[in-house]
Amino acid sequence: MRLTDLLTPRPEGLYCPPADAFIDPVRPVDRAIITHGHADHARAGHACVLATPETLAIMAVRYGRDFCGRAQALAYGEALRIGDVEIVLRPAGHVLGSAQVALTQGGVRAAVSGDYKRQPDPTCAPFEPIACDLFVTEATFALPVFRHPPAETEIATLLRSRDLFPDRAHLVGAYALGKAQRVIALFRQAGYDAPIYLHGALEALTALYERCGVALGDVRPVMQADKTALAGAIALCPPSAVQTPWARRFPDPITAFASGWMRIRARARQRGVELPLVISDHADWPDLQRTILETGAPEVWITHGEADALAHWCESAGVRARALHLVGYDDEGEQSDAAA
Amino acid sequence: MNRFAALLDRLAYEPRRLGKLALLAAYFRETPDPDRGWALAALTGELSFKHLKPAMIRALVVERCDEKLFALSYDFVGDLAETVALIWESEPSRANAALSLSDIVEGVEATAKKDLPALIALWLDRLDENGRWALLKLITGALRIGVSARLARQALAHLGSASVEDIEDVWHAASPPYTDVFAWIEGKGPRPQSGAVRFHPPMLSHAWEERDEALAPEDFAAEWKWDGIRVQAAAARDAHGRAHARLYSRTGDDISKSFPDLVEAFAFDAVLDGELLIRRQGRIESFNTLQQRLNRKSVTAKTISEFPAYICVYDILSENGRDLRTLSFQERRTILEDFAAAHADAPIGLSPLIAFKAWEDLQAARADPAHYAGDSAFDAVEGVMIKRWASPYLAGRPKGHWWKWKRDPHTVDAVLLYAQRGHGKRSSFYSDYTFGVWRDDAEELVPVGKAYFGFTDEELIQIDKFVRHHTQSRFGPVREVTHAPDEGLVFEVAFEGLQRSSRHKSGVAMRFPRIARIRWDKAPRDADRLSALTALLRET
Ligand SMILES: [Zn+2]
Ligand SMILES: [Zn+2]
């Protein structure tokens, strides 16, 4: 059989004809397989949704219990057959519950990785490479300028700044799903055990992480803290809140932003960030290459991001590559998560 | 080098003026000579490495990195120094903190041109990412970190008891690495020789508001607000009778080198405040024309004859050694008028006053400068200035003395056609937009203007994303953006006026266009037709 019989791009998203299912569709469909809970991948309004139990829980928190007609949970590593196709979800290491979708039919396997990273993350299961004939990858940071430093060194930078300015609040912009909880867990790993304050938009998902067994220590809503407690404190908020009146309650705040984009000075300065933290939930350039080679796939499809650069590298490495330029996927979910 | 790199890095992320001052002062206090002097020279644009060109850096990097990947990276990052600093793979174990700023300045000086690439590569290998960035910024002369010459000198004043004015006085006679200046400021040496000319901080205006119309019109003068570059022309003879002339930007940067045609003609002893414009055959050209001269990398005889610079003067701060700033605007204006009459042969002209009795008269002048100012200046007027007759010349932005009253904009809904990468902190974004409207007789969009501001930072990110996801084709730094009737981006464009133009396919050219709103709610088919603009032409 041909690969395109198993998987094919459509305007709604990637489509698997034998299972009659779309992966991360951007429009409402009958059957959707959702890789992870970021708003650009997980949308409300599908008739039937298949995802990990964690992803389904995230969607319920975001969109309400009735986010779809029927929700079907599939744990990592369990196999499900729809028609002739076997579907298995494997960890993608991106955020809690994030999964790669392995589709196998007649000895041919396609792996759709959604968003993924290879750096260690205390809040989610690590990425597992899938041996496959077709690997579908993102390319958010697919340029040789993107080499993410270890997240621990970025956290250490912020803690040093806090020691230097013990009376100023440190306000860290972080996406509501995944990044915020990972940053909190990294602070805890670094031995910081004081209360960490949360913007209201981060509370529900952080509580969900804790219910799923991710220990985050003493986290408190900013709303309930008085101004004196916020001096010298670390607080997390959606990136868009840093420049709003909400931020005025903090005494002389230093604004930080945890994102892979912070690697580029112009991007950090353009956002008015004073303390850029290069912490990304997407694979960097070396990790994208390593992952493609580890899957052993002779063909790679690139969904979104810097597809031209990654396709160029694939060709030089003897791997067939196709840039799909799918529309509707936000790099690092900037708008969607900021709004959540 | 580590210390200088750390300074540049922190300056780049410090938005507050006071924060920048503190960082600079701390650096000057803690760094020994001559490193701090070289740093000061680099920050104020007095240091240049003429054999080190961006092309050489580019050649170095493509020796080590796939050329296409480098090109795509550069396109994304938008800044050569940063792209190379990030892409360069070095072994951190070889990083060497002992490389000082003086090592670099002296190293470049002592090395033959042909051996420079190897030397730079060696340094890039020895530095960490931040150090590489600082080195590349330094040698390509593109620091652009928001430090003006004046700010750097204010930081020097923090080191000792010398005032900024004192420092300005000696500044232009001193040369890098300024060891005598530092010694004097720190009380360890004599005062260096004064320069003959120095920068005087300019007087700035507030925006005119409706409630200001309660003021009595007879207490005020009005003149055109010119759409050029605010400059200060300063010339004098020193104690030895030698003539000195300088042209400063409004932040005190010395821009004499870019306008030799002006500075050579400064045969006077005075400090003038005015607007730099281009004048051809008696006609003052629009800011767009001035921009074309500013965009030229080097100032050749051809540039000068094609874009002759001119200063429209509106104030005089000193003459023949006498400080006039405490006099009233009215008294200074009389002196200025005499001055302009006596120097009629210089590329300098008097900014005319606008006669008016009531604020409504000014409103009319502001709305239709072509009528009031005459056609020869129409393009370069962006509103009116209102100045109190009794005001002294005060540095900074004092309240209650000077106002600017800009023209009311017109608006049109236009479709984004092309996007180009911006400059400075916008260099990694597509921030310059060419837009068009529909022809009246055909389903075709014709370009009518270009704009690169008017949107918020958040909106810039959204537009940039739109551009990257809807690119039809690319030519160098320009992307053609999808513009079909049902797919594309509509801007509400505000502009100050319109004129016929034979250079534009549409036959019209906008003055001072900017993005008033992004109409995410509109499809290109809803955008305006050319007749909406040509109707405006008939009005005037
Ligand atoms: Zn994601
Ligand atoms: Zn994504």
Query: A288 CA to middle of ligand 1, Å?
Result: 15
What is the model's pLDDT at position B189? 87
Torsion of Cα atoms, B51 then B52 then B56 then B61, to 10°: 160
| Residues A160, A271 share a domain | yes
A139 and A200 housed in the same domain:
no
Gap between the Cα atoms of A39 and A205, Å rounded: 13
Cα(A36) to ligand 1 centroid in Å equals 7
- A264 shares its domain with A185: yes
Regions of chain B short of the pLDDT cut 70: 91-97, 144-146, 194-195, 373-379, 407-408, 538-540
* Boundary (domain end) residue, out of A259, A277, A295: A277
Specify the CATH number for the domain of residue A138: 3.60.15.10
Q: Examine the domain organization and report whether A7 and A138 are in the same domain.
A: yes
Q: Which two tokens stand for residue B16?
A: 């507050």
Q: Are residues A140 and A155 in the same domain?
A: no
Q: In whole angstroms, give the CA distance from residue B285 to residue B377.
A: 7
pLDDT for the residue B327? 95
* Inter-chain residue contact A266 with B429, CB threshold 8 Å: yes
Domain membership of residue A236 as a residue range: 151-277
Spell out which residues of chain B touch residue A145, defining contact as CB-CB under 8 Å.
Answer: 73, 76-77, 83, 86-87
Q: Measured between alpha carbons, how far is B480 from B178 in angstroms, rounded to an integer?
A: 49
Say whether B396 sits in a helix, a strand or coil.
Answer: strand
Provide the shortest C-alpha distance from residue B444 to chain A (in Å). Answer: 26
Q: For each of chain A's 340 residues, which pLDDT tens digit applies?
A: 788 899 999 989 999 999 999 999 999 999 999 999 999 999 999 999 999 999 999 999 999 999 999 999 999 999 999 989 999 999 999 999 999 999 999 999 999 999 999 999 999 999 999 999 999 999 999 999 999 999 999 999 999 888 888 889 999 999 999 999 999 999 999 999 999 999 999 999 999 999 999 999 999 999 888 888 888 899 999 988 887 888 888 888 899 999 999 999 878 877 788 899 999 999 999 999 999 999 999 999 999 999 999 999 999 999 999 999 887 776 544 433 332 2
The alpha carbon of B125 and the centre of ligand 2 are apart by a number of angstroms equal to: 35
Give which of B435, B407, B415 is closest to B497, Cα–Cα.
B407
Chain B partners within 8 Å of A325 (Cβ): 469
Shared domain for A7 and A141, answered yes or no, is yes
Q: Label residue A232 exposed, middle or buried (CB < 10 Å: 0-12, 13-18, 19+).
A: middle
- Looking at the fold, whether A273 and A289 belong to one and the same domain comes out as no
Q: Domain total for chain A? A: 2
Residue B415 alpha carbon to ligand 2 centre in Å? 28
- Measure Cα distances from A173 to A124, A194, A198, A199, A301 in Å: 20, 19, 11, 10, 32
Which residues, 6+ apart, have CB-to-CB distance to B525 below 8 Å? Answer: B485, B486
User: Best residue in B10, B13, B70 to probe A by mutation, most A CBs within 10 Å?
Assistant: B13
Of the listed ligands, the closest to the CA of A304 is 2
Taking Cα atoms as reference points, which of A7, A61, A18, A336 lies closest to residue A203? A61
Q: Which of A261, A270, A308, A327 best tests the B interface by mutation, with the highest count of B CBs <10 A?
A: A270
Of A226, A250, A277, the residue at which a domain comes to its end is: A277
Q: A304 and A259 in one domain?
A: no
pTM: 0.69
Q: Which residues contact B133 (CB under 8 A, 6 or more apart)?
A: A265, B5, B8, B9, B81, B82, B85, B86
Helix (H, G, I), strand (E, B) or coil at B418: strand
d(CA B211, CA B456): 28
Q: Is the four-CA dihedral B369, B370, B373, B375 of positive or negative sign?
A: positive
* pLDDT at position B514: 86
Q: Do residues A141 and A171 both lie within one domain?
A: no
CB contact (8 A) between residue B78 and residue A266: yes
Residue matched to tokens 């006609």: B283
Residue B489 has a pLDDT of 94
Q: Is B461 helix (H, G, I), strand (E, B) or coil?
A: helix
Q: Which residues pair with A50 in a beta bridge?
A: A33, A72
- d(CA A269, CA B23) in angstroms, rounded, equals 17
Predicted confidence (pLDDT) per residue in B356-399, tens digit: 999 888 888 887 777 776 665 666 788 899 999 999 999 888 89
Beta carbons within 10 angstroms of residue B110's beta carbon: 9
**Contact call for residues A91 and A291 (beta carbons, < 8 A):** no
Contacts of B170 (CB under 8 A, 6+ apart): B181, B184, B191, B192, B193, B194, B195
In contact, B449 and B435? CB cutoff 8 Å:
yes
What confidence score (pLDDT) does residue B374 get? 65
Contact A330 B460 (CB under 8 A): no
**Whether residue A272 is found in the same domain as residue A297:** no
Please report the pLDDT score of residue A242 as a whole number: 84
Would an 8 Å CB–CB cutoff place B227 in contact with chain A? no
| pLDDT computed for residue B403 by the predictor | 93
In this complex, which of A266, A276, A313 lies closest to B79 when CB atoms are compared?
A: A266
CB contact under 8 A, B72 and A271: no
Q: Are residues A43 and A120 in the same domain?
A: yes
pLDDT score of A339: 29
Chain A positions touching B77 (Cβ under 8 A) are 145, 264, 266
Which runs of consecutive H residues, i.e. helices, occur in B235-368? Answer: 260-263, 287-295, 301-306, 329-342, 359-367
Q: Which two tokens stand for residue B116?
A: 């420079």
Cβ separation B73–A263 shorter than 8 A = no
Q: Which amino acid is at B242?
A: R
Domain endpoint, select from A245, A260, A277: A277
pLDDT in tens, A92-111: 999 999 999 999 999 999 99
Question: Do A266 and B15 count as a contact with CB atoms less than 8 A apart?
Answer: no
Of B16, B150, B12, B22, the residue nearest B81 (C-alpha) = B12
Domains of chain B are: 206-406 (3.30.470.30), 410-539 (2.40.50.140)
* A254 vs A157: CA distance, rounded Å: 13
3-state DSSP assignment of residue B495: strand
Side-chain-facing half-sphere of A78: CA atoms under 13 Å: 10
Interface of B with A in 462-521 (CB under 8 A): 462, 465, 469
Per-residue model confidence (pLDDT) at position B17: 86
Condensed to tens digits (0 to 9), the pLDDT of residues B292-339 reads: 888 777 788 999 999 999 999 999 999 998 999 999 999 999 999 999
- Does residue A285 share a domain with residue A137? yes
Quote ipTM for the complex: 0.93
CATH number for the domain spanning A255: value is: 3.40.50.12650
For residue A37, the ligand closest to its alpha carbon is 1
Q: How many CA atoms lie within 13 A of A236 on its CB side?
A: 26
